[in-house]
Amino acid sequence: MTVVAGDLVLSRGLVDVGLLTNHTDEMLSFWCDEVGLRVERSLEPVPGVTQHKLTMGGAVLKLNCVDAPLPTRARLGGLRMLILAAADVDGPTHLRDPDGNQLCLVPPGFGHVTTLGVQFAVSDEPAFHDFFARILGLPRLAERTYDFAGAALSFAWSPDVVAGGPATGASFGYLTFQVMDVVAAHALVCGRGAVEERPPSDKHTSSDASISFIRDPDGNRIELSQRPDLVVSANA
């Protein structure tokens, strides 16, 4: 069954989160053994990158393990914190993975997070209100929080954020929206003013997905992905 996130028709709800690292064993140990996620499958989407897909309450954490050295993080990325609902915590529990990425475990329903959330640090709050509300068409949950098919996307201004390209070091690198039709979804959001990074194509990756990339107002990357298996399941 298809779901919607504002004006986007999805093959799966929530959002997937992409993470870049050079520390495969340490990161798998943290996210699997300590946090409790499990590896759904592993693949090589592009040469030199092994991607481990970890199930995350109906979404996926894409642990992209890069063979080449990653540059020293020049600045903090805008995708600042992943928030996961966990039944075994009484209140917000803050953790950092081996690369220093921030994770917060919360009781289900805390801060509008029923399954997962992503917190952005931003340079311009009005620009992000416009991006989430007008360009993506998402409903607002709270003052700075929007609903993306069950995922709570929140943001707050931070003085260390400079609009521009995304951080390229070990960090949360991008979000993925799983859509039914990547060409239609890409045209919709770009027609409303989203910045295009890559047009829709099945040549960006060795997997069978057709993908495109856009950027939010601070330059954070958002992947639009049309996966045939998810489309078939949604149409069943």
Give the lowest-confidence range in 100-114, 140-154, 164-178: 164-178
Q: What is the pLDDT of residues 177-230, one digit of tens each?
A: 999 999 999 999 999 999 999 999 987 776 789 999 999 999 999 999 999 999
Domains assigned to the chain: 3-235 (3.10.180.10)
Q: What is the mean pLDDT of residues 128-150?
A: 97
What would the two tokens of residue 220 be?
């954070």
What are the CA-CA distances from residue 92 to residues 158, 178, 188 (Å)?
21, 28, 36
What are the start-end ranges of the H helices in the chain? 24-28, 125-130, 182-191, 228-235
User: Which pLDDT tens digit goes with each residue over 64-88?
Assistant: 999 988 875 555 679 999 999 999 9
Q: Which residue has the higher pLDDT, 155 or 169?
A: 155
Residue 116 has pLDDT above 60, yes or no: yes
Token pair, residue 177, equals 């929206």
| DSSP structure string for 147-211 | EETTEEEEEEE-TT--SSSPP-SSEEEEEEEEBS-HHHHHHHHHHTTPEEEEEEESSSSSSS-EE
Residue 165 pLDDT > 70, yes or no?
no
Tokens of 217: 């107002």
Nearest to 211 by CA among 51, 95, 30, 36: 51
Helices first, then strands: H and E counts in the chain: 4, 17
Q: Which pLDDT band, with edges at 50, 70 and 90, does 171 fall under?
A: confident
Q: Give the span between the Cα atoms of 151 and 57, in whole angstroms.
A: 10
Q: Reduced to 3 states, what is the DSSP secondary structure of residue 106?
A: strand
Contact in structure between 189 and 181 (CB atoms under 8 Å): no
- State residue 52 phi and psi, 5-degree precision: -100, 120
Q: What is the largest CA-CA distance in the chain?
A: 47
